[in-house]
Homo-oligomer: A and B are copies of this chain.
Amino acid sequence: MTRPADDLLAITRQALNRVRHETPLVQCLTNQVVANFTANVLLAVGAAPAMVDIPEEAGPFAGAASGVLVNLGTPHAEQRAAMTEAVASATAAGTPWVLDPVAVGSLPVRTALARRLLPQGPAVVRGNASEIIALAGTGGGGRGVDATDEVESAAAAAGELARSTGAVVAVSGPVDLLTDGERTVRVANGDPLLTRVTGGGCALGAVLAAFAPPTTPDAAARADRLAAAAAAVAVYTVAAEIAAEHSAGPGGFAAAFLDALYALDEETLGKRAAISWA
């Protein structure tokens, strides 16, 4: 029997439509290097960004937002306090939140913060292979934001992390891998130029938050969450692919990527998305 959630392409198209019609409000507690690009990516895809990341505001806002991104790229003290507040509030309200453990493993402050936040139930954890392996406790971390491990070598760690946290785990790379600990989706779109623009990975975390359904604990919801996350990755990487065809380098690519996200239609998405179970 094919469940509705099995047709990844249909789900991807519906998910993009939903974002465009509902304009989900995505709160980003993210690093200051990529905040601008992240907000522009959300606007281009049809969501509404709000970078509310100070204590006393982050908590209340997370309760009302459609999704929350917690990206550990430049975790200043005040932002760490805001993250703690936002995650508690999101968890209480059923707001899905995405954890992006940038450079976790090799750097002590963010690693400790990630360990503290992780048990509170992110809807999605997104990282490169090194970060996912480090977060799962099976490796030593990368040298910063670089992916020094290959995606497939992180598959086991991703599965463990998904099972131990209840999160969908998304590993970014040439072929993206997503798992809820039981089933796995691969998305074979994208372009290397995306790695030559700072925030190419970080902004995907925000799009994952825009696409995430509200958090509920049952198994069907988890399957939906995996499919929605895969949809976000497909939309994002198909747009990257289109942008690369019109770009001479990373400068033009960044602009073309926003334009491609903005213009992406269901038909193009259907033709290009290379998204499949396992």
Contact = CB atoms under 8 A, between A and B. Distances in A.
Contact of A109 (B48, B54, B249, B259): B54
Given A36-B33, A198-B39, A198-B43, A249 B254 contact: no
Given A35-B32, A36-B199, A107 B60 contact: yes
Given A54-B75, A56-B108, A57-B108, A263 B251 contact: no
A37 to B, nearest CB: 6
B263 A44 contact: no
A26 B198 CA distance: 13
Interface string A106-120: 011110000000000
Nearest to A246: B248
Question: How many copies altogether?
Answer: 3
Contacts of A51: 31-33, 73-74
Contacts of A40: 197-198, 250-251, 254
Contact of A25 (B74, B107, B144, B263): B144
Interface residues of A, number: 60
28 contacts: A25-B143, A25-B146, A33-B49, A33-B51, A36-B36, A36-B199, A40-B198, A43-B196, A48-B143, A50-B144, A52-B107, A53-B74, A54-B75, A54-B76, A56-B109, A57-B109, A60-B107, A61-B144, A76-B78, A248-B259, A249-B258, A249-B262, A249-B263, A251-B254, A251-B259, A251-B262, A252-B259, A254-B258
